Amino acid sequence: MKRDLLTLADVTPEEIQHMLTLALDLKQRHKRGESTPLLAGKALALLFSKPSLRTRASFEVGMAQLGGMSSYFEDADIVLGIREPLKDLGRVLSRYYDGIVIRTFAHASVIELAQAATVPVINGLTDSYHPCQILAALQTLHEHFGDLKGRRITYVGDGNNVAHSWLLGAAQMGLTLTLACPPAYQPDATVLRQAQAIAATTGAVLSVVEDPKHGVRGTDAIYTDVWTSMGQEDQATVRQAVLRPYQINAALLAEAPPHAVVMHCLPAHRGEEITDEVLESERALVFDEAENRLHAQKALLVFTMVGL
């Protein structure tokens, strides 16, 4: 059976845990200099309508470390959905490649491509979801705390694609997640309902609050993202004004327990959603998380492409 990862609702809690365990193993083996040619002879297509540093680099390096190869196509190469229908693109690439990663704007485009493709399709980011980022975040928390059981996460800021994937990821893994967002920038109600339905089966506790100080009290990790995502540049001034009270700074961090860590998916707009002081502090796991994009995605590639 073809396995896609368009959102974290596409896998079970057991499958997520399996990928996290595999990611930790692959990371340790890489650090020891061991070869892991689990995808020898496999090829991956990277279709990117949105520019990227971490997503592109981690998938390209990941495929190389697993013994496979990758091809990168930017928007000028494919003009997604315009030069040719997505259903044609999916069928053609399935004849050449063993998997496809797509990073684009509309989530509907990812769904359409996956429906046409006969090889696994992975969502590298859309305006609605960013599942790969949350797999890396979960791996980072597992490494730092020793496990995920009973962890409390607080997401502060814009209820965007990262917040949506946190809702689904926390729900699947039975975590306690609080989203602290202003009224105008809360997560999509449909995504929240879907996550709450999953949470009812796993014991996860999900909530949305307006007060960031209330949100971080008792938490294990504070997570944030940029206030203005790609394609929202014309909203930047308004967003900065509304979201200013949601900045991760020393004062907000002081409201959290001393053991609480800080995370960010990068790139960071220092001085906006997070201060330089906090980002450079010993409590920040930001660059550990960035490193783990590589290993979490290697585990995802192995899971989807060869079923291990």
Per-residue model confidence as pLDDT tens digits over 81-120: 678 899 999 999 999 999 999 999 999 999 999 999 999 9
Q: Which of 54, 56, 103, 239 is catalytic?
A: 103
Class of domain 8-130+291-306: alpha beta
Asked about 269 being catalytic, the answer comes back as no
Asked about 133 being catalytic, the answer comes back as yes
Q: Report long-range pairs for 59-65 (Cβ below 8 Å, ≥24 apart).
A: 59/101, 59/124, 59/297, 59/301, 61/294, 62/294, 62/295, 62/297, 62/298, 62/301, 63/39, 63/301, 65/30, 65/36, 65/294, 65/298
- Residue 184 is classified by DSSP as G
Tell me, what's the pLDDT at 77? 81
Q: Which of 158, 247, 264, 265 is catalytic?
A: 265
For 262-290, what is each residue's pLDDT tens digit? 999 999 999 999 999 999 999 999 999 99
Asked about 164 being catalytic, the answer comes back as no
Q: Which of 4, 65, 133, 264 is catalytic?
A: 133
Tell me, what's the pLDDT at 11? 98
Amino acid at 100: I
Q: How confident is the model at residue 17 (pLDDT cuts 50, 70, 90)?
A: very high
The arithmetic mean of pLDDT across residues 244-257, rounded, is: 98
Residues 6+ positions from 155 with CB-CB distance below 8 Å: 162, 163, 166, 177, 178, 179, 180, 181, 223, 224
Residues 6+ positions from 226 with CB-CB distance below 8 Å: 158, 267, 268, 269, 272, 273
* Listed residue (252, 182, 168) closest to 216, CA to CA: 252
Asked about 98 being catalytic, the answer comes back as no
Q: Report if pTM > 0.95.
A: yes
Superfamily of domain 133-289: Aspartate/ornithine carbamoyltransferase (3.40.50.1370)
Asked about 32 being catalytic, the answer comes back as no
Q: Which of 130, 142, 164, 239 is catalytic?
A: 130
Q: How far is CA 169 from the centre of its chain?
A: 9
End-to-end CA distance of the chain: 13
Asked about 225 being catalytic, the answer comes back as yes
How far apart are the C-alpha atoms of 240 and 216, rounded to whole Å?
21
Domains 8-130+291-306 and 133-289 share a fold: yes
Distance set, CA 190 to CA 1, 11, 165, 187, 193 (Å)? 28, 19, 13, 9, 5
Q: Which of 107, 264, 293, 295 is catalytic?
A: 293
- The full set of domain ranges for the chain reads 8-130+291-306, 133-289
How far apart are the C-alpha atoms of 259 and 289, rounded to whole Å?
17
Q: Which of 225, 264, 295, 297 is catalytic?
A: 225
Tell me, what's the pLDDT at 240? 93
Residues 6+ positions from 85 with CB-CB distance below 8 Å: none
Peptide bond into 51 cis (omega under 30): no
